[in-house]
Homo-oligomer: A and B are copies of this chain.
Amino acid sequence: MLQTGSGATTREAIHSAATRLFRARGYSRTTVRQIAAAADTDPALVIRHFRSKELLFLETMHLTIDDEPLLDVPLERLGERLAGLLVELGGSARGVFLALVHGSNEPHIHERLRDTHERLFVAPLRRRLSCPDADVRARMAAALAGGLLYALWVAGDEGLLRMDRTELVSRYGALLQEVLTPRTS
């Protein structure tokens, strides 16, 4: 009957509090009671609205990039464009990505991360390629993309973090370009 009483609003309060906390502190370091307190409600209600902490996590942690800017650039600049997107990605996307990676010990979260990798990197890149080995190229480029995020955020390579952004974009972009449209020399 979906009566839109105060139920929906507290549900949204829980949702937004969970989003913020999961992004900031990850899955295991965020407790249901913290979420309840931030949403000014009861821990039991958090579970009653979303059926478990893990389902709440899955419902809040969606990693999306507008992949339109990926598509509207000429093919020979795709590598640099993707590299630029990756290094500028920071902020909220960083939190979601790290939460997914850290939480992917849990099978459902791992599945979510795999979907995200496929949908965010592999599929858009493959769509831009027409050669017979487009799938392999897209997957290798996706591995490179994930590798950059891994090195910067997961491993925390301070050498790369301190590096000049435009140089990093240029060099890593050239590498991505080499996977996507190799020089046949």
Residues facing B in A154-185 (CB within 8 A) are 154-160, 163, 171-172, 175, 178-179, 183, 185
Q: A79 on the interface (CB 8 Å rule)?
A: no
Copies per complex of this chain: 2
Q: A53 on the interface (CB 8 Å rule)?
A: no
Contact in complex: B142, A144 (CB < 8 Å): no
Contact in complex: B178, A175 (CB < 8 Å): yes
Q: When each residue 1-35 of chain A gets 1 if its CB lies under 8 Å from chain B and 0 otherwise, what string results?
A: 00000000000000000000000001111000000
Contact in complex: A142, B157 (CB < 8 Å): yes
Q: A93 on the interface (CB 8 Å rule)?
A: no
Contact in complex: A28, B163 (CB < 8 Å): no
What is the size category of the interface that chain A forms with chain B?
A: 35 or more
Q: A122 on the interface (CB 8 Å rule)?
A: yes
Contact in complex: B117, A139 (CB < 8 Å): no
Tell me whether A136 and B171 are in contact in the complex, defined as CB-CB below 8 angstroms, given that A148-B147, A155-B113, A157-B117 are known contacts: yes
Contact in complex: B159, A155 (CB < 8 Å): no
Complex alpha-carbon distance, A98 and B154, angstroms: 12
Having A113-B154, A143-B148, one finds 14 other A-B pairs with CB under 8 Å, namely: A101-B102, A102-B105, A104-B154, A122-B159, A136-B159, A140-B172, A143-B147, A143-B151, A143-B152, A143-B160, A146-B151, A150-B154, A175-B175, A183-B185
